[in-house]
Amino acid sequence: MPRAVKFSRYGGPEVLEVVEVPRPKPGPGEVLVRVVVAGVNPGEAGIRQGVFADMWPAVFPEGQGNDFAGWVAELGDGVSEFAVGDEVIGYLPRAAQADYVVSPADLLTPKPADISWEAAAPLSAVGVTAWAAVDAVAPAAGDTVVVSAAAGGVGSLAVQLARLRGATVIGTAGPHNADYLRSLGVVPVEHGPGLADRLKAAAPDGIDAFVDTFGQGNVDTALALGVAPQRINTLADGRAVARYGVRHKAQEDAFSPRLVAELAALVSKGQLTVTVSEVYPLEQVQEAYRQVQRRHTRGKIVLSLVPPDERPAPAAEPSTP
């Protein structure tokens, strides 16, 4: 039987279960995907904990996971843009951590053959989020841009996207990530008390834009350093959005298969690096979320649903369970 991650009550990672479920059937215009790798993201933990229950209430038993990569296992009626065996990248809120998922065909993106499954799966979530956050502050050649939590899943991509626009990028992170950020062409600055003074020293001519991926007062720091509110984007500080009018662009503001394809092309060309720090088997989903909730991850954590030696996509797959 196919497996899926489910939870039947709000709580910590311990409420997550890997359960057997019927194999889904694609309807007209839909595609059944055999998921190879699925992402693990901090926001998903918030949904599971009930933090966003007013906005996104769970329907128990609720699924989990958003971003995935896999191959086409079956086509619904009327689908002509894909064939069985095609490798794809997708985004399905609260459903991606499952052996099989059904997606509208027009929401899938072809996966380039030269991108690993682990690098492909996060592009529809953290990749798009990073693009939206960077685009919101409109960096240009000659600008100096600060990205907070720059070694994290979104931050590590945001710094690269800002650099591709010609900006000088400063990334805040722990000292253990300094060399990693330098490898991405980023000026590392240690986060924590005294951050504003360290940023002034790193950017004596001023800071033009600020991408906040972490919260914890980063918007206040940016404003104190003279960054205009319209050139600050926060993913984690709703109070600052309401109080100061800073921007709050994220995945839902930018997602499209076309954008995912553009990000995948950058990865193929070696212009964008997706760092995957840890790969957990599906059965260890609880530990994967414990790790991501510590908020000290470098790059991404993902779940593997198909072992590496079983990953070559078959030419065809039976359409019945």
Does residue 71 contact residue 36 with C-beta atoms inside 8 Å? Answer: yes
Residue 278 corresponds to which amino acid?
E
Residue 22 corresponds to which amino acid?
P
User: Is residue 204 domain-shared with residue 105, that is, in the same domain?
Assistant: no
Residue 312 pLDDT grade (very low, low, confident, very high; cuts 50, 70, 90): low
162-211 pLDDT tens trace: 999 999 999 999 999 999 999 999 999 999 999 999 999 999 999 999 99
With respect to residue 140, please indicate whether it lies within any of the assigned structural domains.
Answer: yes
With respect to residue 319, please indicate whether it lies within any of the assigned structural domains.
Answer: no
- The candidate with the shortest Cα–Cα distance to 272, out of 122, 107, 57, is 122
With respect to residue 19, please indicate whether it lies within any of the assigned structural domains.
Answer: yes
As a whole number, mean pLDDT of residues 89-97 equals 97
User: Is residue 139 domain-shared with residue 110, that is, in the same domain?
Assistant: no
- Peptide linkage before 61 cis (omega within 30 of 0): yes
User: Is residue 248 domain-shared with residue 261, that is, in the same domain?
Assistant: no
DSSP conformation class of 29: T
CATH number for the domain that contains residue 138: 3.40.50.720
- The candidate with the shortest Cα–Cα distance to 279, out of 255, 311, 312, 315, is 311
User: Is residue 259 domain-shared with residue 121, that is, in the same domain?
Assistant: yes
User: Is residue 119 domain-shared with residue 156, that is, in the same domain?
Assistant: no
Contact residues for 201 (Cβ-Cβ < 8 A; gap 6+): none
The residue among 230, 252, 274 that closes a domain is 252
pLDDT (0 to 100) of residue 309 = 86
What is the CB neighbour count within 10 angstroms for residue 84?
18
CA dihedral 197, 199, 204, 210 (to 10 degrees): -130
User: Is residue 197 domain-shared with residue 275, that is, in the same domain?
Assistant: no
As a whole number, mean pLDDT of residues 38-46 equals 93
Distance CA 76, CA 300 (A): 32
User: Is residue 260 domain-shared with residue 245, that is, in the same domain?
Assistant: no
Is the pLDDT at 233 greater than 70, yes or no?
yes
237-252 pLDDT tens trace: 999 999 999 999 999 9
The residue among 213, 234, 252 that closes a domain is 252
With respect to residue 296, please indicate whether it lies within any of the assigned structural domains.
Answer: yes
Q: Which residues form the domain of 222?
A: 128-252
According to DSSP H, which parts of the chain are helical?
42-49, 117-120, 126-137, 153-164, 178-183, 195-202, 218-224, 238-244, 251-254, 257-268, 285-293
User: Is residue 199 domain-shared with residue 172, that is, in the same domain?
Assistant: yes
What is the CB neighbour count within 10 angstroms for residue 276?
20
55-68 pLDDT tens trace: 889 999 999 999 99
User: Is residue 44 domain-shared with residue 111, that is, in the same domain?
Assistant: yes
pLDDT (0 to 100) of residue 321 = 35
The number of domains in the chain is 2
As a whole number, mean pLDDT of residues 255-282 equals 98
Does residue 263 contact residue 272 with C-beta atoms inside 8 Å? Answer: yes
With respect to residue 317, please indicate whether it lies within any of the assigned structural domains.
Answer: no
How far, CA to CA in Å, does 183 sit from each of 49, 120, 151, 160, 163? Answer: 36, 21, 11, 11, 13
SS3 percent helix, strand, coil of the chain, rounded to 5, is 35, 25, 40
